[in-house]
């Protein structure tokens, strides 16, 4: 039997997430089965297409640069040029094949070219499959901060094929699992239990454990963004670990950290901050920190100047009316959003080895 799709509600209509091993090898049939017919234009990156392009048969993609360093408006202009060269019109469906950067950039281009073209996400990293492809967030970085330019633009369909993860490097694969830990902390304790018990099977992609983890995360995010599409309330809990994570990405020039690694560092700092406040139970902070450590050593950020990290935090999207909304965990599956002081942020950075003035 085909897998049961996961439905996501959005203001311009519901869309579906299909988690199905091998689905990229039969993409035209998958699109047609969900009412997406007519011309479609595949956009990917050279690195992604070299790894998995053969799965798409005779599809001829448009390839654009990939990576956080090129996730800016100039790269989106290259997507626009490709759409113009291909004579894309409002009947064209754009299929974004790649990780979070490709999804964000191509999604933003789809949202703004001709005031909106139909978009399909085919995420190919753990991070994209469990998080970034879901919820309609699109955008690019600015020199002063991550994802400061963008739009909410829900896709028409998300096609998740766990088999594409087999081509990822060990580092890239592990980086995405920090986002799975995040879901376990903010929403579903069973995810933490499953990761702790079956981490070896997940890391080696044996059996069905990984696919089940992906489905669980997709369901969680679908429920959250369906209830709060534009991040006015509930959806803010998805930012656990991201506030300082984004700041560290920015402060290191988007060259040192995978996004998931930055989230891992941000979660460690948030757990320290929460425990110091008495919000996060110390036993939970220790448990989560130990699980983060089991994924492997995170890159050092000890040389990042404190002032640069703090400056990056002040430009974060989660600053509203001059106040930073910081997500803390007070039990597995339960969070609170709090204002934090510069002193607390300095202490949290200190836990990552970032000290000084």
Where in the sequence numbering do the catalytic residues fall? Answer: 115, 137, 179, 221, 231, 235, 239, 242, 246, 259
Question: In this structure, are residues 256 and 338 in contact, taking their beta carbons and an 8 Å threshold?
Answer: no
133: left (phi over 0), alpha (psi -120 to 50) or beta: alpha
DSSP string, 135-189: S-EEEEEETTEEEEEEEE---SEEEE-GGGGGGS-HHHHHHHHHHHHHHHHHT-H
CA–CA distance, 271 with 275 (Å, rounded to integer): 6
CA–CA distance, 330 with 336 (Å, rounded to integer): 7
CA–CA distance, 63 with 340 (Å, rounded to integer): 42
Q: What strand order describes the sheet that includes 319-320?
A: 319-320, 323-331, 334-339
Torsion of CA 267, 271, 277, 282, to 10 degrees: 170
CA–CA distance, 272 with 19 (Å, rounded to integer): 35
CA–CA distance, 96 with 44 (Å, rounded to integer): 6
CA–CA distance, 221 with 257 (Å, rounded to integer): 24
CA–CA distance, 27 with 282 (Å, rounded to integer): 47
Question: In this structure, are residues 221 and 135 in contact, taking their beta carbons and an 8 Å threshold?
Answer: yes
Question: In this structure, are residues 107 and 15 in contact, taking their beta carbons and an 8 Å threshold?
Answer: no
DSSP state of 321: T
The distance between the two most distant Cα atoms of the chain, rounded to a whole number of Å, is 59
Question: In this structure, are residues 265 and 178 in contact, taking their beta carbons and an 8 Å threshold?
Answer: no
């Amino acid at each position: 039997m085909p897998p049961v799709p996961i439905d996501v509600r959005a203001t311009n209509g519901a869309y579906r997430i299909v988690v199905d091993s091998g689905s990229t090898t039969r993409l035209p049939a998958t699109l047609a089965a969900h009412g997406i017919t007519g011309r479609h234009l595949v956009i990917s990156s050279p690195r992604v297409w070299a790894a998995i392009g053969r799965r798409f048969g005779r599809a001829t993609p448009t390839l654009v640069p990939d990576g956080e360093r090129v996730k800016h408006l100039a790269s989106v202009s290259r997507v626009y040029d490709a759409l113009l060269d291909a004579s894309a019109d409002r009947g064209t469906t754009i299929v974004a094949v790649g990780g979070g950067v490709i999804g964000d950039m191509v999604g933003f281009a789809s949202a703004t070219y001709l005031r909106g073209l139909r978009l399909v996400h085919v995420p190919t990293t753990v991070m994209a499959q469990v998080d970034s492809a879901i919820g309609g967030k699109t955008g690019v970085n600015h020199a002063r901060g991550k994802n400061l330019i963008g739009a909410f633009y829900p896709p028409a369909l998300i096609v998740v094929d766990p088999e594409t993860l087999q081509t990822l490097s060990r580092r890239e694969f592990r980086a995405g699992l920090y986002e799975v830990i995040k879901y376990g902390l903010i929403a579903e304790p069973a995810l933490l239990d499953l990761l702790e018990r079956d981490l070896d099977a997940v890391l080696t992609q044996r059996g069905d454990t990984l696919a089940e983890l992906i489905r669980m995360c997709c369901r969680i995010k679908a429920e959250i963004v369906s209830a709060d599409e534009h991040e006015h309330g509930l959806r803010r809990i998805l930012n656990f670990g991201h506030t300082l994570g984004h700041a560290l990405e920015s402060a290191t020039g988007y060259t040192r950290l995978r996004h998931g690694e930055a989230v891992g560092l941000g979660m460690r700092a948030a757990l320290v901050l929460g425990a110091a406040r008495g919000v996060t139970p110390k036993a939970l902070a220790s448990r989560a920190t130990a699980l983060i450590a089991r994924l492997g050593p995170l890159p050092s950020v000890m040389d990042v100047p404190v002032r640069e990290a703090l400056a990056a935090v002040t430009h974060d999207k989660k600053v509203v009316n001059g106040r930073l909304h910081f997500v803390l965990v007070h039990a597995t599956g339960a969070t609170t959003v709090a204002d934090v002081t510069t002193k607390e942020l300095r202490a949290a950075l200190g836990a990552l080895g970032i000290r000084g003035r």
